[in-house]
Amino acid sequence: MKTTTHIKEIQGGITAVAGFTAAGLSAGIKKNKASDLALVSADLPCTVAGLFTKNKFPAPPLRLNKKHLKKGGGRAIIANSGNANAFTGEQGEKDAKAMALETARQLNISPETVYVASTGVISQFLPMQKILPAIPTLCAGLSKEGSRAAAEAIMTTDTRAKECAFQGPVGKDTVSIGGIAKGSGMIHPNMATMLAFLSTDVAMTQSLLQSALREAVDASFHRITIDRDTSTNDMVLLFANSRQGKIINKKGPRYRQFTTLLKTACITLAKMLVRDAEGATKCVAIEVKGAKDDKAASKIAFAIADSLLVKTAFFGEDANWGRIVAAVGNAGIKVKPEEINLFFGPTQLVKNGHYLGVEAEKKIAAYLKSKEITLRLVLQSGKGKSCVWTSDLSLDYVKINALYRT
């Protein structure tokens, strides 16, 4: 992706940051014996920030993590895929605690510094007889090269691992940030069926780290939508080991520089989720400019991005602008027809509410064969702007979700 000046992409994912190691293996949770247990570990106590699903039925690991987050510190994240440990009652609570306890015992750290994540099928008990015996091997396998293995171990319907890392200036220091994520379906703001784990060497107070993470998530994971569904297990965790520079304790220039770096990593991971959306053939950026304000622009962008008719038109590579303007009209924002200017990539198709004809549509037909598409709506109501990323809706999406448990 295009990054801000002085921010550079580096290799290594979540372990690109000094002091972090990771591992992944198959504990036999998944029927196909694919990798399904991941661990990320920090060699120093970390300040931790976290955001969690707004679903009213949060899974046991999330409830446990919220308790740990209140103390603000952390040393490790253990995550499994193939089973969400959600809607599992008291047994699910015990199992999440047992995962944290055994990991802490193996790493010789406090259980309250271990965060737990689970993703997969809802309403089934974890096979603890498989998970607990695998944890010692998982801990023994921690390495500086383990980011990819951990990223693969948290995948569910994902077709590829998702990881990134960046470096950039924060004051006089060079700060690194790395991350891994999973998610390809049930993706919608607040937050989605996704897990994202991030590491950094910045020194920052817990309250400011939490604030920076919220800003970054609002600019990234809260800007993507695939199918309007959210789940019970979604979370983003950010571990900061304070290796670089003097502690940031106010929202000054250094805070803003770090937040920009964090946004770069989160937006990169968020776009990876959309590109790997279940059955998707297109990654579509919906840009809205000239709305009354940013809130109005966001509502319009999501109305377009969430429209099943618009999404299927993108799958069919059809510049069906009628569906798009209908979605704008359904956004609940006052827009006059003559305000609408609609562009597919560089080509304008609607000018001041009027269709520009077949020649423009022919150019767009070729453009729509691309895997990366930008749809731009320019209004004349104000200075509000927003960008949302979505996918097309294909026949494979239905197949994947119809057969998910079989």
Query: Which residues are identified as catalytic?
Result: 193
From CA 96, how far away is CA 79, in angstroms rounded?
A: 10
On whether the CB atoms of residues 197 and 35 are closer than 8 A, the answer is no
Query: What is the C-alpha radius of gyration for the chain, rounded to an integer number of angstroms?
Result: 22
Supply 70's token pair: 């209140």
| Alpha carbon distances (Å) from 404 to 27, 279, 349, 359 | 20, 13, 39, 43
Residue 395 has φ and ψ, to the nearest 5°, of -65, -35
From CA 395, how far away is CA 119, in angstroms rounded?
A: 24
Element containing residue 341 per DSSP (H, E): strand 341-344
Q: What is the CA angle 319-324-325, rounded to 5?
A: 125
On whether the CB atoms of residues 131 and 27 are closer than 8 A, the answer is yes
382 alpha-carbon distance from chain centroid: 30
One-letter identity of residue 28: G
| Alpha carbon distances (Å) from 273 to 160, 195, 221, 277, 324 | 10, 10, 9, 6, 23
| Alpha carbon distances (Å) from 349 to 208, 285, 324 | 45, 17, 12
